[in-house]
Structure 1
Amino acid sequence: MQTGIARNAALVVVDVQKGFDEEAFWGPRNNLAADENIAVLIAAWQETDRPVVFVRHDSLKLESPLRPGYEGNDFKEYVQARRGLGSGPELLVTKTVNSAFYGTPDLDAWFKEAGITQFVVAGIQTNMCAETTARMGGNLGYQVLFPLDATHTFDLTGPFGWRQSADELATASATSLHGGGFAKVVTTADLLTAVQE
């Protein structure tokens, strides 16, 4: 698949936090390769001096493993270790809702000031904060790339007793994003090839 990457395309790393490793809270996850793929994308972006945005979810729910003041709020070690290593622009966004565009500082304003029109969304969860950020980016007029294999999610129960596996939810997210024109769904390999061109 041909995937063009702008010289200033941003990588938005969504909510890669220790709290998501607490399986007792979240339930079964999919895509065990997601963390490795996220890590290689961060490295590739930093090595090519492209902008990287690290997004952290500061949950307002007292029972959430992502609540501030709890270890689960911290970035996973491989993400924390990469912060500040690139010579390209870097931003930390904190949020309490799904979209990184409703965080602090204002991501849309930062993108516009830097002339960024294209970004990649990687992180957790596929069908929650990653998808919401991608959808909103598409609505705001950005070209959004969504490497599905650099995201993961968890099984979920919805209305009427419906239950979907993490893989089913990820497939539905990818179909809605790509088929609905919000984002182009790609692979980590597609992006790694594109950033070297």
Structure 2
Amino acid sequence: MEITENAALVVVDVQKGFEEVEYWGERNNPEADDNIAALIGTWQESGRPVVFVRHDSVKPDSPLRSGYVGNDFKEYVEERRGKGAGGELLVTKSVNSAFYGTPNLDAWLKEAGVSQLVVTGIQTNMCAETTARMGGNLGYDVLFALDATYTFDLEGPFGWRLGAEEIARATAVTLHGGGFARVVTTADLIAGASRPSGPSGV
């Protein structure tokens, strides 16, 4: 796998509020946090840029609302902030896409000459997927680290209910099959990022 030397890792909404099981329900992929931590470590050690995205919910009952402990990054993310040799950015948002946050992610990436993104974080089918879709629309080469994301069971229209793993697979099929992003594994990303590469990943 070709990972450019300045590929940006976008870590979406890895916040304490997602640990509140009674609010969210059952999740999938218990290995996700370990994989997210491994990707952050690899990106920082290789001098690549990392973008930390935080969701500041405007809903008064949300575990992610501003001023509530659930708004904070999980400890393993917070302790890694500021440790990388590459660039780092904090984006705050109140909608699904990290591209509609503050500061302007697209402008920051373009100024840094970044053309490739790796998306990881929570939730697979919500903010991670929306950020990946928009990144693809904006012309970035988007890699979606499926096993470094997780989501929750969800009820939709007509009484339809899907389990978290079904939802994650649907996201993977839509992103990959629809050409928005390439769905990949943490192991492949780490292997690719650990190889010496030029600006084009060659």
The alignment's TM-score, normalised by the length of structure 2, stands at 0.96
SS of alignment partner, residue 79 of structure 2: helix
Counterparts of 1:1-197 in structure 2, within 5 Å, are 3-197=1-195
Alignment-mate amino acid for residue 126 of structure 1? T
> In the alignment, which residue of structure 1 is the partner of 2:198?
none
| Distance (Å, rounded) in 2 between the aligned partners of 1:193 and 1:151 | 18
| Distance (Å, rounded) in 1 between the aligned partners of 2:88 and 2:194 | 20
* Aligned residues between the structures: 195
Q: CA deviation at 1:73?
A: 0.0
Q: CA deviation at 1:128?
A: 0.1
Which string of whole-angstrom CA distances, capped at 9 and with x for unpartnered residues, describes residues 33-58 of structure 1?
A: 00000000000000000000000000
| Distance (Å, rounded) in 1 between the aligned partners of 2:125 and 2:23 | 17
SS of alignment partner, residue 147 of structure 2: helix
Alignment-mate amino acid for residue 37 of structure 1? N
Q: Which runs of 5+ in 1 are unaligned?
A: none
Q: CA deviation at 1:87?
A: 1.3
| Distance (Å, rounded) in 2 between the aligned partners of 1:51 and 1:88 | 5
Which string of whole-angstrom CA distances, capped at 9 and with x for unpartnered residues, describes residues 51-73 of structure 1?
A: 00000000000000000000000
| Distance (Å, rounded) in 1 between the aligned partners of 2:174 and 2:180 | 8
SS of alignment partner, residue 12 of structure 1: strand
Alignment-mate amino acid for residue 110 of structure 2? K
Q: CA deviation at 1:77?
A: 0.1
Alpha-carbon RMSD across the aligned residues, in angstroms, is 0.3
Alignment-mate amino acid for residue 33 of structure 1? E
Which string of whole-angstrom CA distances, capped at 9 and with x for unpartnered residues, describes residues 83-111 of structure 1?
A: 00011000000000000000000000000
Q: Which runs of 5+ in 2 are unaligned?
A: 196-202
Percentage of matched positions with identical amino acids: 73
Runs of 4+ in structure 1 displaced over 4 angstroms? none
| Distance (Å, rounded) in 2 between the aligned partners of 1:181 and 1:85 | 33
SS of alignment partner, residue 150 of structure 1: strand
The alignment's TM-score, normalised by the length of structure 1, stands at 0.99
| Distance (Å, rounded) in 2 between the aligned partners of 1:122 and 1:147 | 6
